A and B are shown apart, each in its own frame.
Chain A
Amino acid sequence: MMNQTNQPLLQVEDLRVSFTSGGALVDAVRGVSFSLGREKLAIVGESGSGKSTVGRTLLRLHPKSARITASKMQFGDIDLATCSEKTMQSIRGQRMSMIMQDPKYSLNPVMRVGDQIAEAYLAHHKVARAEANQRALAMLEAVRIRDPQRVFRMYPHEVSGGMGQRIMIAMMLITEPEVVIADEPTSALDVSVRLQVLATLDDLVSKRGLGLIFISHDLNLVRSFCDRVLVMYAGRVVESIAASDLDNAKHPYTQGLLASLPSVDQRRERLPVLQRDPAWLTQPIGA
């Protein structure tokens, strides 16, 4: 196992999240535990399994209607479950950031992208505007924007989807966070751009030693990109496994997800379809 020598950046134990929706209670997350080191940790699972809810809850970005309990949600010396909103504000966007699936909703449409990145830095650091601008430019370069000077002055509607996603990443990383939560950061991107965004994230983990939570439903990608994988089903982690070991996954749900992927290398008449077992809802992990 890697990172065993390092203190975990984040420790979560028995996280539970429920929503009230139309009078009914939805248990979105039902007892999730994990720890994150300086590594790329994937959360995979079907739509509605609770992946985004876990990510948002860590940063307290959940709606008011959410009920949250955890026996532990430790980030360094801070208890995320009980800390004040003020403490949370000092963490959010500075020490821990979240990259959302669609950059269009997260960028301010009437502000030049370079200024937005610089603002993100200024919000947490007392430096001159010129220095913040310099850092923003350097960050655009770090996320492999080809002509950072030109892109700095563009508005969000003038950039392509792939560029917008990398601008978002630049904005989330300029404060040098210790933990980044990326929620399906590349699923809307073309293959070539997707590869470049991944390479950028990869560099940041290895060069800056940050911890990355990578939420995705692309098992082939996760297998080769991440170090470890948490497999979620109906609000629970049913399997936790080294990415390189996914082929030896034990849980029938993980096996089923992998088998149902069409592949260029394996030609099959029919794809196996997942047969869900009600026992998966309650079985302890590793059973």
Chain B
Amino acid sequence: MAMIEVDKLNLSFGEGAEANQVLHDVCFDVGDGEAFGLVGESGSGKTTVLRCLAGQYSHWSGSLAINSERLGRKLDKARCRKLQMVFQDPYGSLHPRHTVETALSEPLAIHGITDASRRIDSILTKVGLPTNFRYRYPHQLSGGQRQRVAIARALILEPRILLLDEPTSALDVSVQAEILNLLADLRKQEGLTYLLVTHDLGVVAHLCDRVAVMQQGRIVDLIESASLVGAVPEHPYTRMLVEASRHYSREMAEVGADLTPAEAV
């Protein structure tokens, strides 16, 4: 059963001759309870795909469905309860003058949910933070703790789906390991479905079952993470991503030069 269905998703920014098409016929499905990854270089359209699903853009064409229900172009409250987004920057995504409690109660108030206090305790426990952290401000938290709060806020409405945009790239490797473990545990306990965007192949391969590789607005390859173990992928761009995540090599640098779009070089 597919939880997320993306079919022939197209999107352009700008009008007429100025129009810049950033998504070209993007198609993929994510199963219920699956973790699916999107990798690709900067500007390839990864975040844009998430934003379409999250209802932040409305001028796309194609079809998007969650749990077999087609998504409209406008964001409604129902969608927020099905799906939530977590961003890269745990500093920018929390209001500096709002306590953890305020950050967590806001979505509850918007959706008219009353037992806020109990839910906040329970969600903080779930993301591995002491319940008295509710009185803290963002500057009183470490980077990893802030990302835990951001995940707690995304989960407080009990969505079935998390859209994760580079959730660990601002973190040290040791803190990243804690957050990746937390995400793996939560998926198991809560039966969540993940759509994860990152440029770090190690991270996607670790957390996700399948990975789509994007280049210039298109999905150019789709791979099972398990098949990457010790393997040399066929697609040249995927091969470069995989090899570069393993080690630096001179030959790959030459290949990379040929695979880079001219304007980036």
Residues of A within 8 A of B (CB): 46-47, 144-146, 160-163, 190-196, 198-199, 202, 217, 219-221, 223-225, 256-257, 260-274
CB within 8 Å for A160 and B242 given contacts A195-B256, A264-B225 = no
A162 to B249, CA, bound (A): 18
A145 to B265, CA, bound (A): 6
CB within 8 Å for A191 and B253 given contacts A224-B247, A260-B173 = no
Interface size class of B (residues with CB under 8 A): 35 or more
Question: 5 shortest A-B CB distances, which residue pairs?
Answer: A224-B247, A262-B206, A192-B256, A199-B253, A260-B177
Which among B178, B184, B202, B226 is the interface contact of A261 at CB below 8 angstroms? B202
A160 to B259, CA, bound (A): 16
Q: Would you call A257 and B174 a contact (CB within 8 A)? A: yes
Within 8 A of A (CB), among B141-165: 143
Q: Would you call A262 and B180 a contact (CB within 8 A)? A: yes
CB within 8 Å for A202 and B250 given contacts A146-B262, A196-B257, A264-B205 = yes
Closest Cβ of chain B to A45, distance in Å, is: 9
Q: Would you call A161 and B42 a contact (CB within 8 A)? A: yes
Within 8 A of A (CB), among B218-265: 225-226, 228-230, 240-242, 244-250, 252-254, 256-257, 259-260, 262-265
Apart from the given pairs A144-B265, A220-B202, A268-B206, 4 other A-B contacts in the complex at a CB distance below 8 Å = A161-B42, A225-B248, A262-B180, A274-B177
Closest to B247 in A: A224
Task: Write out the residue numbers on chain B whose beta carbons fall within 8 Å of the beta carbon of A268.
Answer: 206
Task: Write out the residue numbers on chain B whose beta carbons fall within 8 Å of the beta carbon of A266.
Answer: 229
User: Is the C-beta of B106 less than 8 angstroms from some C-beta in chain A?
Assistant: no
Within 8 A of A (CB), among B9-63: 41-42
Q: Would you call B250 and A271 a contact (CB within 8 A)? A: no
Residues of B within 8 A of A (CB): 41-42, 143, 172-174, 176-178, 180-181, 184, 199-203, 205-207, 225-226, 228-230, 240-242, 244-250, 252-254, 256-257, 259-260, 262-265
Q: Would you call B41 and A192 a contact (CB within 8 A)? A: yes
Q: Would you call B174 and A262 a contact (CB within 8 A)? A: no
CB within 8 Å for A257 and B173 given contacts A195-B248, A267-B225 = yes
Which among B226, B249, B265 is the interface contact of A267 at CB below 8 angstroms? B226
Q: Would you call B248 and A224 a contact (CB within 8 A)? A: yes
Closest to A276 in B: B174
Closest to A188 in B: B42
Query: What are 23 A-B residue pairs whose CB atoms fall within 8 Å in the complex?
Result: A144-B265, A146-B265, A162-B265, A163-B264, A190-B264, A191-B199, A192-B260, A194-B244, A195-B248, A195-B256, A217-B173, A220-B247, A224-B247, A260-B174, A260-B176, A262-B176, A262-B200, A264-B225, A267-B226, A271-B177, A271-B180, A273-B178, A274-B177
Specify which of B202, B207, B247, B265 lies most central, judged by the most chain A CB atoms within 10 Å of its CB. Answer: B265
Q: Would you call B248 and A262 a contact (CB within 8 A)? A: no
CB within 8 Å for A220 and B245 given contacts A190-B42, A260-B176, A268-B206 = yes
Closest to A272 in B: B177
Specify which of A162, A163, A191, A217 lies most central, judged by the most chain B CB atoms within 10 Å of its CB. Answer: A191
Closest to A198 in B: B248
A129 to B115, CA, bound (A): 73
Task: Write out the residue numbers on chain B whose beta carbons fall within 8 Å of the beta carbon of A145.
Answer: 265
Closest Cβ of chain B to A180, distance in Å, is: 17
Q: Would you call A195 and B174 a contact (CB within 8 A)? A: no
Which among A195, A261, A270, A271 is the interface contact of B253 at CB below 8 angstroms? A195
Which among B172, B242, B250 is the interface contact of A217 at CB below 8 angstroms? B172
Closest Cβ of chain A to B104, distance in Å, is: 25
CB within 8 Å for A190 and B41 given contacts A202-B250, A271-B206 = yes
Q: Would you call B202 and A263 a contact (CB within 8 A)? A: yes
Task: Write out the residue numbers on chain A whose beta carbons fall within 8 Å of the beta carbon of B228.
Answer: 264-265
Task: Write out the residue numbers on chain B whose beta carbons fall within 8 Å of the beta carbon of A190.
Answer: 41-42, 199, 260, 264
CB within 8 Å for A273 and B174 given contacts A146-B265, A193-B264, A195-B248 = yes
Closest Cβ of chain B to A164, distance in Å, is: 11
Q: Would you call A265 and B229 a contact (CB within 8 A)? A: yes
Q: Would you call B252 and A195 a contact (CB within 8 A)? A: yes
A211 to B229, CA, bound (A): 36
Task: Write out the residue numbers on chain B whose beta carbons fall within 8 Å of the beta carbon of A261.
Answer: 173, 177, 202
Closest Cβ of chain A to B143, distance in Å, is: 8
Closest to A200 in B: B253
CB within 8 Å for A265 and B246 given contacts A47-B172, A257-B173, A260-B177 = yes
Q: Would you call B184 and A46 a contact (CB within 8 A)? A: no
A238 to B177, CA, bound (A): 21
A283 to B159, CA, bound (A): 48
Q: Would you call A267 and B229 a contact (CB within 8 A)? A: yes
CB within 8 Å for A198 and B199 given contacts A257-B174, A265-B230, A270-B181 = no
CB within 8 Å for A269 and B250 given contacts A190-B42, A260-B177 = no
CB within 8 Å for A220 and B246 given contacts A192-B257, A270-B181 = yes
Q: Would you call A191 and B174 a contact (CB within 8 A)? A: no
